[in-house]
């Protein structure tokens, strides 16, 4: 298991264990952070939007064109940051132990 530090929408932080091999979205959804993951990881809903801590952003795989397009579509509704990501596109593995994320406002 990989430990991820999560800041929720109210500003509270807590550590959660994320299952290696699964998308981060599933951990955040199952841990009750208000992440819906309505599209199941198809990058078509944006309900799993998170902000990655700046120190961690370069360690993640690059955004795909589809992920970038979905994030761009969210810009009319929520703040986008350079570290904005869809958590459904972040596969958890041991290299992410200690990752820090903030749950973005709800769309």
Domain ranges of the chain: 2-103
Residue 49 is encoded by which pair of tokens?
A: 């939007």
Average pLDDT value for residue range 60-76: 96
pTM comes to: 0.95
pLDDT over 70, % of the chain? 100
Question: Do 85 and 67 touch, CB atoms closer than 8 A?
Answer: yes
Average pLDDT value for residue range 25-49: 95
Would you tell me which CATH number, out of the four given (3.90.1520.10, 3.10.20.30, 1.20.210.10, 3.40.50.620), belongs to the domain 2-103? 3.10.20.30
- Over 90: is that where the pLDDT of 103 sits? yes
Nearest to residue 59, comparing CAs of 23, 84, 96, 26?
A: 96
Confidence at 107, pLDDT banded by 50, 70, 90:
confident
């Amino acid at each position: 298991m990989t430990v991820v530090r999560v800041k929720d929408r109210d500003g509270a932080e807590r550590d959660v264990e994320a299952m290696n091999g699964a998308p981060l979205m599933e951990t955040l959804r199952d841990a009750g952070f208000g992440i819906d993951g309505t599209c199941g990881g198809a990058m078509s809903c944006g309900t799993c939007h998170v902000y990655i801590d700046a120190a961690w952003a370069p360690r993640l795989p690059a955004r795909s064109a589809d992920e970038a397009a979905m994030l761009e579509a969210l810009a009319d509704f929520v703040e986008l940051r350079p570290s904005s990501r869809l958590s459904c596109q972040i596969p958890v593995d041991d290299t992410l132990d200690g990752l820090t994320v903030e749950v973005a406002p709800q769309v």
